[in-house]
Amino acid sequence: MPRPIHLNLFIHGRGHHEAGWRHPGATRKALTDITYFADLAKRAEAGRFDSIFFADALELGDGARYVASGALEPITALAALARETTRIGLIATASTTYTEPFNLARQFASLDHISGGRIGWNIVTSWVAGAGPNFGYERAPEHAERYARADEYVGVVKALWDSWADDAIIDDPQTGRFLERERVRRIDWKGSFYRVAGPLNLPRPPQGRPVLVQAGSSATGKAFAARHAEAVFTAHLSKASAADFYAELKQGAIAAGRRADDIVILPGLSAAIGSTDAQAHTLLEELNALTDIQVGLSRLSNRFGGYDFSALPLDQPLSRDDFPDPSTVQAAQSRAAVITDLVARERPTLRGLLRQLAGARGHFTVAGSPERIAEVIEDWIESRAADGFNLMPPVLPAQLDIFVDHVVPILQKRGLFRREYEADTLRGHYGLGRPANPYFQN
């Protein structure tokens, strides 16, 4: 029997292609209109996706001038979508660098209650340079410090979620006893970065803990994922690179005392789908023709912590020497490394590189018919390059619709993807167990 595939819809603006919002297949609704996101969530649920996901950045960013930007905040959006859907998992990004752990633990616990156990937290340390100054910092804390904090932060948040026994509430109007106070404990966390007394002020979430999701792929990021992550979003430009990552991370989880199945690995997949391969390629060419060199340069600069590429010639082959050493980049180191490796390997022109990144910012892109997309998915799964995919439609909602209507049925016919939901929680969809509470015996 083939391994089941997991599918997450990554919701981003009006599509993941940088120029997707300019395409006729993109919505014309505002990114502050909850009905747009509710509609996407319902379409994904109709397609039996495991989950939907919102990324996040704690600054507006320079690209906003030319890219659909300024969307709803993910936690509030997710709470609203919890009332618009009944089965699909809901994942929001939130930052360990710029949020009080008590507030974050509480809001995600509340979301998990509101949704009946369908919530995941995408743990980020916030690499964008502009976030720090929105939170009282001269500049963002450095990569290593952000991860050191994040490691402790996740410990605090887990301890808060676990500060109530699952059976702490008695709720007996006859005797007047509501809570068994001995089944709720202070956490009295006193670490290097955080001091949090606890307990949390609401009961343990239905899933025990919301699913912990993570997307850092630097050496530090991978070590973090091996310890904590239950689902991982990751960016690869080739199946070989994804397979290496997959093997390394599963091994890392085992080394950290966990099982390989305790981490679901979901590489990004931006599929431009047409009735035929030729039509799909035409779509991608149309989108690329709508891109803007300045937008691409600004995004590339962002990825390298503000490095200025604007003096480079547009139409001559690049070399690795044109780029700073990724390990010195105080942003998303792994994504910088993906890009410099690509440059060293393929020697693209700057214009060509920007177009390649315009599709999905360094994630795998493929153009083809529904059959072709289904083949890629099956191939990556069989090659143990993925447990499923973080689907990044280049244009929303049009390209999601095509995927749901034409790719999902192929996967279902081959027995690779569920026809109906078999679980009610995100943990259930991902095949993850409910974490025991280490502080209370039942």
Residues 146-175 touching its own copies, rule: CB under 8 A, are 164, 169, 171, 173-174
Q: Which of 55, 57, 223, 410 binds its own copies (CB under 8 A)?
A: 57
34 vs 312 by CB, closer to its own copies: 34
- From residue 402 to residue 441, the character string flagging contacts with its own copies as x (rule: CB under 8 A) and all else as - is ----------------------------------------
Asked if residue 91 binds its own copies (CB under 8 A), the reply is no
Asked if residue 79 binds its own copies (CB under 8 A), the reply is yes
Asked if residue 195 binds its own copies (CB under 8 A), the reply is yes
Query: Is the bond into 397 cis (omega within 30 degrees of 0)?
Result: yes
- From residue 15 to residue 54, the character string flagging contacts with its own copies as x (rule: CB under 8 A) and all else as - is ----x-xxx--x---xxxxx---x----------------
194 vs 439 by CB, closer to its own copies: 194
Pairwise CA distance, residues 114 & 202, whole Å:
12
Pairwise CA distance, residues 11 & 55, whole Å:
8
Only one of the segments 134-142, 223-231, 338-346, 377-385 lies at the binding site for its own copies (rule: CB under 8 A); that segment is 134-142
Residues numbered 200 to 229 that lie near its own copies (CB under 8 A) are 200-203
110 vs 279 by CB, closer to its own copies: 110
Q: Which of 194, 307, 421, 439 binds its own copies (CB under 8 A)?
A: 194
Written as six digits, the tokens of 52 are 């939907």
**Residue 411: C-alpha distances to residues 5, 109, 239, 430 (Å):** 9, 34, 19, 17
CB 82 to its own copies: min, Å: 6
Asked if residue 129 binds its own copies (CB under 8 A), the reply is no
Only one of the segments 100-108, 274-282, 397-405, 406-414 lies at the binding site for its own copies (rule: CB under 8 A); that segment is 100-108
Only one of the segments 68-76, 332-340, 390-398, 407-415 lies at the binding site for its own copies (rule: CB under 8 A); that segment is 68-76
CB 11 within 8 A of CB 396: yes
Asked if residue 77 binds its own copies (CB under 8 A), the reply is yes
Residues numbered 277 to 316 that lie near its own copies (CB under 8 A) are 290, 292
Q: Which of 113, 227, 351, 384 binds its own copies (CB under 8 A)?
A: 113
Asked if residue 64 binds its own copies (CB under 8 A), the reply is yes
CB 61 to its own copies: min, Å: 8
